[in-house]
Structure 1
Amino acid sequence: MDKKKADQQASPKHSSVENTTTQAQRARLLDALELGPITTIDARSRLNIMMPAARVKELRSLGHPIVTHLRDLYDDQGRRHSRVAVYYLAGRGQEVA
């Protein structure tokens, strides 16, 4: 008798940055947002999410109250980027000015 493995859902606590499925990316992003605001730059470099805006849209459609602010920021190379998205979960006291 063949035993089938249970569906392996990408858990925020166990989603490796090498896992690039959209489900794993959403899990990593949501886990990061639980800890505080995250920028597009950080999502790409630290979380290996190349299209953070798409993952945010998907999370919003699942009912997560993610708010976006646009700011001018510098990347880790010291280059200035204008209108970088800063995402945070609404109602968590994480609002950015």
Structure 2
Amino acid sequence: MKTKKMADHKAHHENTQVKNTSGTAQRARLLERLQKGSIDTFTAIRELNIVRPGARINELRSLGHNILTHRMTLTDDQGRPHSSIALYYLSTNPPAEVSQ
């Protein structure tokens, strides 16, 4: 009899591929990216395959990560401006346009 493999609930950023859409994998990818610098909603969706970045951010905050949000206007791939797009960053790593 074959045994089923259980999903790894402790996914780590080094072994989570962009095609893995589990919440654990998405949080690992997003946290790894935040440790390198700020990321906006559009980039998180496009590059990290995270459809609801705000939800993952809230989950990371509930796990104790100090993530801040800056709102800004960005233009999408079709040239349309969008106001109040979130730019997320770790409090120890503010983006250049937010730091004083």
**Which range, TM-score by smaller chain?**
0.7 to 0.9
Aligned residues: 96
Shift of residue 10, structure 1, vs aligned partner:
1.3
Give 5+ residue unaligned stretches, structure 2.
none
Aligned to 1:55: 56
**Matched ranges for 1:23-34 at <5 A:** 23-34=24-35
Shift of residue 18, structure 1, vs aligned partner:
0.5
The answer to whether the Cα contact below 8 Å between 2:37 and 2:94 also exists between their aligned partners in 1 is no
Give 5+ residue unaligned stretches, structure 1.
none
Question: SS at 1:54's partner residue?
Answer: helix
**Matched ranges for 1:9-88 at <5 A:** 9-88=10-89
C-alpha RMSD of the superposition? 2.2
Q: Percentage identity across aligned positions?
A: 48
The answer to whether the Cα contact below 8 Å between 1:88 and 1:95 also exists between their aligned partners in 2 is no
Measure the CA separation in 1 of the matches of 2:49 and 2:7.
23
The answer to whether the Cα contact below 8 Å between 1:13 and 1:31 also exists between their aligned partners in 2 is no
